[in-house]
Structure formats: C-alpha cells, structure tokens
Amino acid sequence: MDKIFIIGSNSFSGATFSDYALKNGAHVTGISRSKESNNVFLPYKSNEQSNFNFHLLDINKNLKEIIELINEIKPAYVINFAAQSMVGESWLRPTDWFMTNVVSTINLHDELRMCDFLKRYVHISTPEVYGSCDGFVDENFPFNPSTPYAVSRAAADMSLRTFHDEYKFPVVTTRAANVYGPGQQLYRIIPRTILYILLGKKIQLHGGGSSTRSFIHMNDVSRATWQIMHKGKIGHTYHISTNEIISIRELVESICVKLNVKFKNHIDVVGERAGKDSAYQLKSAKLRDEMNWQEEITLDQGLNECISWVTKNLDILKKEVFDYQHKP
C-alpha cells in the first residue's frame, strides 16, 4: 500500500487525484489550508475513508506541524498541488502569490530534502511559466512568464532545479494543460458557463474569447500523475496535455449547443485580462513514450460529464459562491 501525502487535497486537482489514489489502494494523508468543502467538490468522499486522513494545515503558517506530520507518517510520495493559482488576481496583491508560491514553497522543499524516506516529490507546476506559446513546445522551452502568478511559479521551479542538482532532491515536475471535470471550482470557465446558462445569467467573455487552450479531463491527468509519481525520472519534467486546441469562444459555443441555447444571448464581451497569454500548446510526447500514456476522455465526453454534474447538483451549486475568494 502506497503512503501518499497530498498538499492541497481540497483543490480540484488535489481532490480528484486523492480519489484516484484511494481507488488504487493507496493510504492518503491530505492537507489543505481550507476546511473540506461541500462533498460535491470532493470526489474522494465517496471512497472508503479508513484510508484517507485530512488535516487543516497551511504551508504559510503551519510548516513545522506539516513536517512533523510527514516525519511521523513517512510517506514514500509527496504531491504538492498547493499554490495561489489565479492569474488575473495576482496583479492585485502579488506579494501574496510570492509568499505562497515562492517563499513558503521553497521553505517546504528545504525541509523535505532531509526526508530520506521520500522516493519522489511530485511538484505540480503550470504552463504559465512559458508565457504565450506559438506552436507546440516541449519541456525544455525557455521560461517567459508574463504575470506575477507565472513569475512566482517559475521561481519555485528554478529553485527545484538547484535542489536536485545540489542535493539530489527526488523531484519530478508536471505541467498540465487546462484541467477540467466534475467537481471543479465554479469560477472556472466550464462549470461557470454551464451554471450561468442554467440560471439565465450572462458569461463575461474576456477579449471575445480569442485565446486558445488545450483542455484535458482531470481523470486523465490523475492517471498520468500516478504514473509519473511511480516511474518519472528524477529531475525531469513531464507535460500532460492533449493535441486538441480550442478557443475559449468555441468552447462556450459548444456548451451553448449542448444546452440548446443561443450563444449571443448568454455572453458579454469584455476587455482582456492584463498579461493574459494567448495560447498554451504543450507537447506531451515524452509522457506518451516513457509511460505509454494517452488521454481517454474526449472534450465532447468531458463536457457532457460536466453538464450532468452541474445539472444533478444545481440546487446545491446555485447556493455556493460563484466568484474566486482570495485568501492570503
């Protein structure tokens, strides 16, 4: 039985991966700075809870307790999903992003490097570190961050390179395309669009929705992360992505078609966000070749799942806060 320690287990990615790990027989300890939210956002709640333990801990405030817990449990794997992750909002209070994503994260790494029981530390990074990409890029593409959020993530990634080189710290890094799926936070584009249409509200389409993204189902990402956790080459980075590129406008149009509503009746075009990158296109050949991984859920199938999830839980979701709530 794998002992896994998940930092940020209440995040969408962390909660979905926790569920996947439990289904694969792991013993999971999860920590988050936020209390466990409504069960509709926590798929691991449907699993046998004897193999999952949750602790309310914040890497900014409780590092000592976190390290004590890790030394007590002695997990073979630590996976870090925790980060201040909103791009546009990072311009408003950039020091909060640098405190969490750089200072506290590097303090965590400096403690973890002394844990000799650790087989791999899986660092969940972001393609934002590359800036806007023209064409598909591989894991060696130069960093060119364009927002405080992206700069903060790039700084931690660069620090980890030095920790691996100097201390042989057993880090493997992942950068996934835009993740989505049932249980995602309501301020993200897919659940927000579905929810707003069902409630008769209009969606703000920044810059007319011209930016392009690759959307990948979180279940496919969890499966890839599980394989990377076990077999990823120490010191290496792996992209997790599909080759299907779609504009935000096309994405919203697809949802409108599925819900049988007119696109023009449900959107307001507003100005683009500061520093927003126009495109992320990630090559994932390394993951596919080394791990024999490939995505299993198409965007069309995934959107149907998300619509079903929102529809099924509409009475609960419409009472939730729709917008991002910042926590320092």
Condensed to tens digits (0 to 9), the pLDDT of residues 102-147 reads 999 999 999 999 999 999 999 999 999 999 877 899 999 999 999 9
CB atoms within 10 A of CB 319: 8
Task: Compute CA distances 74 → 106, 116, 226, whole Å.
Answer: 20, 9, 19
For residue 306, give the H/E element and its range: helix 299-312
pLDDT at 48: 59
User: What CA–CA distance (Å, rounded) separates 261 from 309?
Assistant: 19
Question: Token match 């011209």: residue?
Answer: 210
pLDDT at 323: 85
Per-position pLDDT tens, the chain of length 328:
899 999 999 999 999 999 999 999 999 999 999 999 899 999 998 865 679 999 999 999 999 999 999 999 999 999 999 999 888 899 999 999 999 999 999 999 999 999 999 999 999 999 999 998 778 999 999 999 999 999 999 999 999 999 999 999 999 999 999 999 999 999 999 999 999 999 999 998 988 888 888 999 999 999 999 999 999 999 999 999 999 999 999 999 999 999 999 999 999 888 766 655 566 789 999 999 999 999 999 999 999 999 999 999 999 999 998 888 777 7
As given in the structure block, the two tokens for residue 272 are 């683009």
pLDDT at 135: 82
Task: Compute CA distances 115 → 72, 120, 169, 193, whole Å.
Answer: 11, 11, 10, 44
Question: Token match 């707003």: residue?
Answer: 196
Q: Is 102 helix (H, G, I), strand (E, B) or coil?
A: helix
Q: Write down the CATH number for the domain with range 3-179+214-240.
A: 3.40.50.720
Helices and strands, number each (H, E), in the chain = 11, 13
CA 132 to chain centre: 19
Backbone angles phi, psi at 171, to 5 degrees: -90, 140
